[in-house]
Amino acid sequence: MDKSGKAYWKAVLTLVAQVLLVWFLVSYGAGIIFAGPLNNIMLGGYPLGFWFAHQGSMYIFVALIFIYAWRMGKIDQKFDVHEE
């Protein structure tokens, strides 16, 4: 694999790691680990920890899909492997 191929895969794996980190922090962190402290904050009449566990995480996961697709498109264009 040449230098540009290694750089491409490094960029892709970095993006995947970032998306997985956000996924972990939202699903496990906000929904379970930090639910107690977050429950002191109210959002729409519900404790924030409860909201993240039941609603907020889904919104963030859908946003992650669009962010991943957008950033992956940018990486593909940068390394000239994008589709026309």
Give the pLDDT confidence of 31-52 residue by residue, as tens digits: 788 888 989 999 888 898 888 7
Confidence at 79, pLDDT banded by 50, 70, 90: very high
**Domain boundaries, given as residue ranges, for the chain:** 9-78
Long-range contacts of 68-76 (CB under 8 A, 24+ apart): 68/15, 68/19, 71/15, 72/12, 72/15, 75/8, 75/11, 75/12, 75/15
Q: Is the pTM of this model over 0.85?
A: no
pLDDT above 90 as % of the chain: 52
Q: Does residue 82 have a pLDDT over 80?
A: no
